[in-house]
């Protein structure tokens, strides 16, 4: 399980990045995946089966966006330690997308 403090520290490092296009892409992919994950939780079992492929694709797209931003940050000598902190566990990375979704929503008030 991803700790809130770790998720927020990663979010802070990402927000500090000058890689605007990649950062925006990562945030968009996080919101898309987080939205699907919440909808999946509310859906009946038969609908979950229909949503599974779309959810997996959104998850993969978010992971790709994380890797893309991390590489861009490393190329610009920015601190990309957040990516190493997340590791490679798909569940933890998915949790991070949901944290980003919530952080962005709360900041938008």
The residues, any chain, with a CB within 8 Å of residue 42's CB and separated by 6 or more, are none
Q: CA–CA separation, 55 vs 40, rounded Å?
A: 8
The band of 91, judged by pLDDT with boundaries at 50, 70 and 90, is very high
Percent of the chain with pLDDT over 90: 98
pLDDT digits (tens, 9 = 90+) for 60-90: 999 999 999 999 999 999 999 999 999 999 9
Phi then psi for residue 19, to 5 deg, are: -85, 75
Residue 27 half-sphere exposure toward CB, CA atoms < 13 A: 16
Distances (CA, A) of 81 to 17, 34, 52: 12, 23, 31
Closest by CA to 26, choosing from 10, 38, 39, is 10
């Amino acid at each position: 399980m991803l700790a809130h403090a770790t998720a927020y520290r990663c979010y802070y490092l990402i927000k500090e990045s000058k890689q605007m296009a990649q950062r925006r892409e990562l945030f968009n992919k996080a919101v898309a995946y987080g939205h699907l994950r919440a909808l999946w939780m509310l859906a009946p079992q038969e609908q979950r089966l229909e949503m599974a492929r779309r959810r997996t694709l959104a998850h993969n797209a978010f992971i790709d966006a994380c890797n893309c931003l991390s590489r861009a940050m490393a190329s610009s000598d920015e601190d990309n330690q957040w990516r190493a902190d997340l590791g490679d566990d798909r569940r933890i990375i998915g949790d991070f997308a949901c944290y980003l979704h919530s952080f962005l929503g709360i900041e938008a008030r």
